[in-house]
Amino acid sequence: MKQLEAFELLTAFAEKHDALIVADIGSQSLWLKAVKDRVQNLYLSGPMGQASSVALGVAAAQKERLVIAACGDGALGMNMTSLATISYVAPKNLIVAVMDNGVYEFTKGLPTPTLGVKWAKVPGTFPGFKKTFAVDALDTISDPFGGPYFIHADIEPGPLPPGPGLPAVIAHDRFKNYLTGAAKTTASPQQC
């Protein structure tokens, strides 16, 4: 499956359940934005691998909302301890999705150190996760608030995602303002 197709499925699922999506820096944020730029999307900037941790915090603060972490396999590999924390806390409203292409797209396809990780077996290693689903089987999740769940997307390495992204300040302010109902930001929506 191509990364664009995986994000189309993830976005359709999110819209169906009015879910928030927290996307890792780089290709996950850009692919998500390319599919559909929603105020319910938080495009991260800064260190890699933080989508799962930030999504856990959002899920704790927004218990009535479904929250999805969109992670790259290389990025999630940099923060595997977040899976242990999520497993322990076991928020019912959290889904962690990994886009597993085995490479860092932005470095011209260098292999990730997570090659060989059996992502589909995450619940066996981190038992707080209820079940793993393939990204093309999202509609088989009968109770989205029965998680946490793990989603695995087996992705073909491919071209870089289309850009540009949103400037970090605008992306973060927009998401925060959406959640708090605050007035819209006055920052310019110029692209970076």
pLDDT > 50? residue 175: yes
Report which secondary-structure segment, H or E, holds 52: helix 51-61
| CA 155 – CA 99 distance, rounded (Å) | 6
Query: Which pLDDT value is given to residue 183?
Result: 57
Mean pLDDT (the chain) is 91
Tell me what the mean pLDDT of segment 164-188 comes to: 81
pTM over 0.85: yes
Q: Could you tell me the domains of the chain?
A: 3-180 (3.40.50.970)
Place of tokens 């302010």: 173
With CA atoms as reference, report the closest residue to 94 among 149, 163, 138.
Answer: 149
pLDDT in tens, 132-170: 999 999 999 999 999 999 999 999 988 888 888 888 899
